[in-house]
Amino acid sequence: MDGKPQRIVLSEQQKRSRRARSIAIALALGALVILFYVVTLVKGPGVLNRPM
Amino acid sequence: MSLLVSEGAEFSASGVVSARHEPSIASVGDYVALMKPRVMSLVVFTALVGLVIAPGHMHPVIAFTALLCIAVGAGAAGALNMWYDADIDAVMTRTSNRPIPQRLIAPGEALAFGIVLAAFSVGTLGLLVNWLAASLLAFTVFFYIVVYTAWLKRSTPQNIVIGGAAGAFPPMIGWAAATGDISLEPWLLFLIIFFWTPPHFWALSLTRTDDYARARIPMLPVVAGLQETRRQILLYSVVLVPVGAAPWLFGYADAIYGMTALVAGFLMVAFAWRVRNEREGARADRAAHHLFAFSIIYLFVLFAVLLVEGGLGGW
């Protein structure tokens, strides 16, 4: 033991895949925010009316 | 019981895999594949029909939101199905190239992905559309994963008959999203898909009996034999004729739909009759493939006519 923590070193392919997945998650979350915003505009005050 | 697949990864009967933790190389496309996009497209199409033929007006943004949530909910069900079925997917030719057997996505990641998508799709549908549709979507995902995948699929040859209900719910969810209610009309659409599912899947399973036997799935051809399966395919196809025409018979659709449903229904019976009589070799396989292919056309045509009629205000 040299006292240094064991670290995982990502390959180039792993880094590319991780970056693509991160971008996809960001886009999905952004789309969700926009969706909620647009529906709020469409429904107006009725957005609080959620019938069963 | 478990099946050792490769060094560092072990598929168990529940589909849970204990594996070395390695940084993933899964692409976005692999996660899309996990959602069974072809099944999703059929779900979206049938849900769209339920939504369009429902009475009243629905704002296009709300309609889009409903369809998006239904699509994502279907994708969640697909991911959870692949998580649970990882062990049998690995030994079946048709499914061995899926992301989990290919070790592109770890089972735990697929499970988390499916749960998150299911929660977001149901929650969003409830908050932005209505809670009846959201409840139906949640029940559909539950039914597909717990009732069909985890219970029926591995225990009874009636697996796809009862499990077919999961695929029959989307038009009902679409209707509920549009109206906040459920009436007889969406039940008729439910019944069409419900009775269409057995001949559709059994036609496929006739040509993959060895695959299902190897995976120890009690599909009807494996358990009851090819002849009994062919007989039941014909029976369900005959029942499908009046069920397919029911929206017209009950006065919800016009004569164009009625004639289309009857002609397509009789063609379905004709294909099923051929499957019953062609029992040997390549001709039998060809007959089963033809029925499988036609069954997809059958469902698409019936729902497309309903969609056009609904769009024109004919329903």
Q: Say yes or no: B142 and B242 in one domain.
A: no
C-beta atoms of A50 and B130 within 8 A: yes
In this prediction the ipTM stands at 0.83
Tell me, yes or no, whether B239 lies in a domain: yes
Write down the pLDDT at residue B56.
86
φ/ψ (deg, to 5) at B31:
-70, -35
Nearest-by-Cβ selection for B65 from A10, A20, A39: A39
pTM: 0.89
Write down the pLDDT at residue B17.
47
Q: Say yes or no: B212 and B168 in one domain.
A: no
Q: Say yes or no: B163 and B196 in one domain.
A: no
CA distance B186 to chain A (A): 18
Cβ(B74)–Cβ(B44) below 8 Å: yes
Write down the pLDDT at residue A52.
58
Cβ(B34)–Cβ(B3) below 8 Å: no
Residues in A touching B127 (Cβ below 8 Å): 36, 50
Low-confidence ranges of chain B (pLDDT < 50): 1-19
Q: Say yes or no: B274 and B312 in one domain.
A: yes
Instruction: Identify the band that residue A45 occupies on the pLDDT scale cut at 50, 70 and 90.
Output: confident
Q: Say yes or no: B42 and B170 in one domain.
A: yes
Cβ(B69)–Cβ(B194) below 8 Å: no
Last residue of a domain, one of B182, B204, B233: B182
Cβ(B111)–Cβ(B83) below 8 Å: yes
Bridge partners of B132, per DSSP, are none
End-to-end CA distance of chain A: 62
CA distance B130 to chain A (A): 6
C-beta atoms of B28 and A36 within 8 A: no
Write down the pLDDT at residue A4.
74
CA-to-CA distance for B135 and B141, rounded, in angstroms? Answer: 10
Residues in B touching A39 (Cβ below 8 Å): 61-62, 65, 128
Q: Say yes or no: B176 and B44 in one domain.
A: yes
The residues, any chain, with a CB within 8 Å of residue B123's CB and separated by 6 or more, are B134
Cα separations in angstroms, B167 against B141, B172, B192, B209: 10, 10, 11, 22
Tell me, yes or no, whether B14 lies in a domain: no
Write down the pLDDT at residue B281.
84
Write down the pLDDT at residue B120.
97
Structure tokens at B211: 């695959």
Percent of chain A with pLDDT over 70: 83
Which domain CATH number covers B125?
1.10.357.140
Q: How many CB atoms lie within 10 A of CB B100?
A: 26
Edge to edge, the sheet with strand B9-12 lists: B2-6, B9-12, B17-19
Instruction: Identify the band that residue A8 occupies on the pLDDT scale cut at 50, 70 and 90.
Output: confident
Beta-carbon-side half-sphere exposure of residue B73 (alpha carbons within 13 Å): 34
More confident residue, A51 or B96: B96
B227 lies in which domain range? 186-315
User: How is B58-85 classified by DSSP, letter by letter?
Assistant: --HHHHHHHHHHHHHHHHHHHHHHHHHT
- Give me the number of domains chain B comprises: 2
Structure tokens at B79: 């991911």
